[in-house]
């Protein structure tokens, strides 16, 4: 239940940040957007592994979330 609520919450945050960046052409929030996207991918991967189905996609989601998290930290450090 916690994973489902957190996945919905992170989805809303990512969509709102993306729309704000696209509408205002202000890309200063991009590291935050990538951080929330990494968290979303991590929660999705954990949910897939917890279900026991499609284990491959669960592992891929976790690996992608780690990559996006590293890119987010680089974005924070460069600004």
Domain borders along the chain are: 2-78
Give the separation between CA 60 and CA 23, rounded to whole angstroms: 31
Residue pair 24/72 in contact by the 8 Å Cβ criterion: no
Mean pLDDT of 52-72: 87
Q: What pLDDT, in 10s, does the model give residues 31-53?
A: 999 999 999 999 999 988 888 77
pLDDT at 34: 92
Residue pair 40/11 in contact by the 8 Å Cβ criterion: yes
pLDDT at 54: 66
| b (16+ CB within 10 A) / e for 41-69 | bbbbbbbbbeeeeeeeebeebbebbeebb
């Amino acid at each position: 239940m916690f994973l489902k609520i957190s996945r919905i919450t992170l989805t809303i945050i990512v969509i709102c940040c993306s729309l704000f960046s696209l509408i205002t052409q202000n890309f200063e929030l991009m590291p935050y957007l990538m951080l929330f996207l990494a968290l979303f991918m991590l929660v999705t991967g954990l949910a897939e592994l917890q279900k026991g189905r499609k284990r491959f996609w669960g592992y891929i989601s976790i690996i992608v979330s780690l990559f996006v998290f590293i890119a987010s930290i680089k974005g924070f450090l460069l600004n």
